[in-house]
A and B are shown apart, each in its own frame.
Chain A
Amino acid sequence: EVQLQQSGPDLVKPGASVKISCKASGYSFTGYYMHWVKQSHGKSLEWIGRVNPNKGGTSYNQKFKDKAILTVDKSSSTAYMELRSLTSEDSAVYFCARSYYDQGAMDYWGQGTSVTVSS
């Protein structure tokens, strides 16, 4: 069974960074791209970017290129997203999701990680 298990909720201070994890199981981690998506409270979904777990290559939404850093650890089948210089605008739920193709629809998603930025 394919599963993407994300880390728990985070409360972080403005200006700080946070690193969210997404542990994959039930499939070949390096055979699928991993995407990250943001959902601000009560709003729609925004694509942040994606990483190729096999070669580490990344592609970002221009809006998030200075905000997010996407990495993977193949040894533990885990993808990470670090968000830096956090502001209240970064308070949201963040999802990881996989796709088979570089430019393919995401078929399995994690349960989401809530990040709250507050002093």
Chain B
Amino acid sequence: DIQMTQSPSSLSASLRGKVTITCKASQDINKYIAWYQHKPGKGPRLLIHYTSTLQPGIPLRFSGSGSGRDYSFSISSLEPEDIATYYCLQYDNLYTFGGGTKLEIK
């Protein structure tokens, strides 16, 4: 099974600041990684798939990059509505989620 190590587990950032989250896979996942935003009481929201492809309607301040085993997700200018928990998901071989990153405002 593929393991996904996501860091950090929690993050405090300033409004309009930049945020970066990383995920490291236990093996090459061929860029098949997605990033989700999850708020309490709702289902996760798909932001990015295939490493860097933004879902329609997702603001351009969200971005993703990486290859092989190492991937990152960034928010270029943090907005109040971005407060949530973020998860990576590998879907190269079945499905494995990262442990999540809880994002808070500093």
Query: Which chain A residues have a beta carbon within 8 Å of chain B's beta carbons?
Result: 4, 35, 37, 44-47, 59, 61, 95, 97, 103-112
Q: Is B99 an interface residue (CB 8 A)?
A: yes
Asked whether A107 lies within 8 Å of B43 as measured between CB atoms, the reply is: no
Within 8 Å by CB of B99, from A44, A59, A111, lies: A44
Q: Is the interface of B mostly helix, strand, loop or mixed?
A: loop
Residue of B whose beta carbon sits closest to that of A62: B1
Chain A residues closer than 8 Å to B99, beta-carbon distance: 44
Minimum CB–CB distance for A61 against chain B, Å: 7
Asked whether A105 lies within 8 Å of B91 as measured between CB atoms, the reply is: yes
Q: Is B25 an interface residue (CB 8 A)?
A: no
Within 8 Å by CB of A47, from B50, B95, B98, lies: B95
Asked whether A111 lies within 8 Å of B42 as measured between CB atoms, the reply is: yes
List residues 41-92 of chain B with CB under 8 A from any CB of chain A: 41-46, 49-50, 55, 87, 89, 91-92
Residue of A whose beta carbon sits closest to that of B56: A107
Minimum CB–CB distance for A86 against chain B, Å: 23
Interchain CA distance A95-B38 in the complex, whole Å:
12
Convert B91-105 into 0s and 1s, putting 1 for each residue whose CB lies closer than 8 angstroms to a CB of A: 110111111100000
Asked whether A107 lies within 8 Å of B44 as measured between CB atoms, the reply is: no
Asked whether B44 lies within 8 Å of A109 as measured between CB atoms, the reply is: yes
Closest 3 CB pairs of A and B: A109-B43, A47-B95, A105-B34
Chain A residues closer than 8 Å to B46, beta-carbon distance: 105-108
Asked whether B97 lies within 8 Å of A97 as measured between CB atoms, the reply is: no
Interchain CA distance A95-B44 in the complex, whole Å:
9
Chain B residues closer than 8 Å to A59, beta-carbon distance: 94
Interchain CA distance A61-B23 in the complex, whole Å:
21
Minimum CB–CB distance for A23 against chain B, Å: 14
Taking each of B45, B91, B95, B98, which has the highest tally of chain A beta carbons within 10 Å of its own beta carbon? Answer: B95
Chain A residues closer than 8 Å to B43, beta-carbon distance: 4, 95, 97, 108-112
Chain A residues closer than 8 Å to B95, beta-carbon distance: 35, 47, 61
Asked whether A111 lies within 8 Å of B41 as measured between CB atoms, the reply is: yes
Residue of A whose beta carbon sits closest to that of B33: A105
Asked whether A44 lies within 8 Å of B41 as measured between CB atoms, the reply is: no
Asked whether B98 lies within 8 Å of A44 as measured between CB atoms, the reply is: yes
